[in-house]
Copies of this chain bind each other. A is one copy, B any other.
Amino acid sequence: MMQQRAHILSGEQKPRSQTQRAASELRRMIVSGELPAGSSYLETELAEMLDMSRTPVREATLMLEAQGLLEVRPRRGVKILSISPEDMEEIYQILTELESLAAERVAERSTSPEMLEPLREATQRMEDALARDDREAWAAADEDFHTRLVELSGSARLKSVIANFNDQVRRARALTLYIRPAPTKSNADHRALIAALEKGDAALARKIHREHRIAAKSLMISLLSKHGFHQI
């Protein structure tokens, strides 16, 4: 085999390193369920899948282990971690705290109303999607709202750690998207949050978002238990 591979997909934006490619590719495969929770793979298998040597695969698995997506078990392969309802509760609690902090920071920082435009726009898309009962579009817009909110907090750390935990529960969210009730409350919550942010009322923004996330957690937990999902 040739030692260095030419970049075949010239359409790719960045000729990033193999390690970066392995990390993002494996992350994608894990959060999409392509590599199912609970399954195990040898380094060699992953290297074969990704068409590279073991070295970048090893480096990527160490990064993903630090992110909590998989476990590197010496000589037993890399195991894709599954999520129990208890894990789910933990992660949602953590996300609740961190996103509430983000909302508070946005309220404190937002000087002009235009800054909040991405939030209004995402909320509008959520409402439109809900009106035509397009759940995928709703979920995409909802995720967008949360991402934008966190970005507006101006904290790269907050963004990164929230993204990590979100990746851990993405599978579960996809699973409950069609069995959950219509998310009318979510849209209303977002409007209320935007109003609080416009007023620059940090405490209120925090409170609204916190309750929004706690409700999301309760709903998720009850859906999982109702449908008997013990390991996702």
In the complex, A158 Cα to B19 Cα: how many Å? 28
Inside 8 A of A100's CB, which chain B residues have their CB?
A: 97
Give 3 nearest A-B pairs by CB, closest first: A97-B97, A66-B66, A90-B155
CA distance A68 to B156 in the complex (A): 11
**A62 to B57 CA separation, bound complex (whole angstroms):** 13
Identify A90's interface contact among B17, B66, B87, B158, CB under 8 A: B158
Interface residue A129 (Cβ < 8 Å from any Cβ of B):
no
Within 8 A of B (CB), among A74-115: 74, 87, 90-91, 93-94, 96-98, 100-101, 105
Q: Which of A1-35 contact B (CB under 8 A)?
A: 17, 19
**B158/A94 in contact, CB under 8 A:** yes
* A59 interface hit (Cβ, 8 Å): yes
Binary contact track A155-191/B, C-beta < 8 Å → 1, others 0: 1011011000100000000000000000000000000
Task: Output the least CB separation between A36 and chain B (Å).
Answer: 21
List the B side residues contacting A223 at CB < 8 Å.
none
Q: Is A37 an interface residue (CB 8 A)?
A: no
A67 at the interface (CB under 8 A from B): yes
Contact B161 A94 (CB under 8 A): yes
